[in-house]
Chain A
């Protein structure tokens, strides 16, 4: 079954870091980019960044540069997104999404991971 399975919900304190994982199955992992998108409560979708096929190159939205790191483990078909220096404004559902190479759309999404930042 073609799917992206994300890790479970997290609760973090302000200033901490969080790492969310996204495990791919049912397709050739190295044929696709992986993106991360977040959605704060009641808000719209916000693109965070992309990691390429081999995991050696990531591009981040300007807003998150310096605070986000995306990595990829091809041996386990898993991508990771780590966000540091968390504040309450980082409370959101974080989605991973499969990106079709060169065409820049997302054809498969994970179910999302809720990250709550609270003291």
Chain B
């Protein structure tokens, strides 16, 4: 059960858009449209941002969006704000009642 691959870090300036990728094999993220994304501020529990690849829970800003192409899922944050500076994780169902996280991406807002 190897972790999904995310870039270790990304950065952007306020107002810009950034995209975080999450790449798996055909046996995990590639086979299922059951990818979710989480934001985690230091010392806090993760927060759900996106589920089922591209759906937003109530209360999550529409600046956050998800997509998927082949074996890669992506999280895009538009109109970057200072409070978006955080760690971001993808999660995918990989079958047999198991899931796996990506390694996490640290977003820096310049």
Residues of A within 8 A of B (CB): 35, 37, 44-47, 50, 59, 61-63, 95, 97, 100, 103-107, 109-112
Contact = CB atoms under 8 A, between A and B. Distances in A.
Given A103-B51, A103-B52, A104-B34, A109 B45 contact: yes
A100 B51 contact: yes
Contact of B36 (A46, A50, A95, A106): A106
A37 B87 CA distance: 16
Nearest to B37: A105
Taking residues whose C-beta sits less than 8 angstroms from the other chain, chain B's interface range is: 20 to 34
A44 B46 CA distance: 11
A44 B101 contact: yes
Contacts of A105: 34, 36, 48, 51-52, 91
Nearest to A59: B97
Interface of B: 1, 3, 34, 36, 38, 40, 45-48, 51-52, 57, 87, 89, 91-93, 96-104
Task: Tell me if B's interface is mostly helix, strand, loop or mixed.
Answer: strand
A44 B104 contact: yes
B59 to A, nearest CB: 11
Contacts of B36: 104-106
Contacts of B91: 45, 47, 104-106
Given A44-B102, A45-B101, 6 more contacts: A45-B104, A50-B97, A50-B98, A63-B1, A103-B51, A104-B36
A106 to B, nearest CB: 6
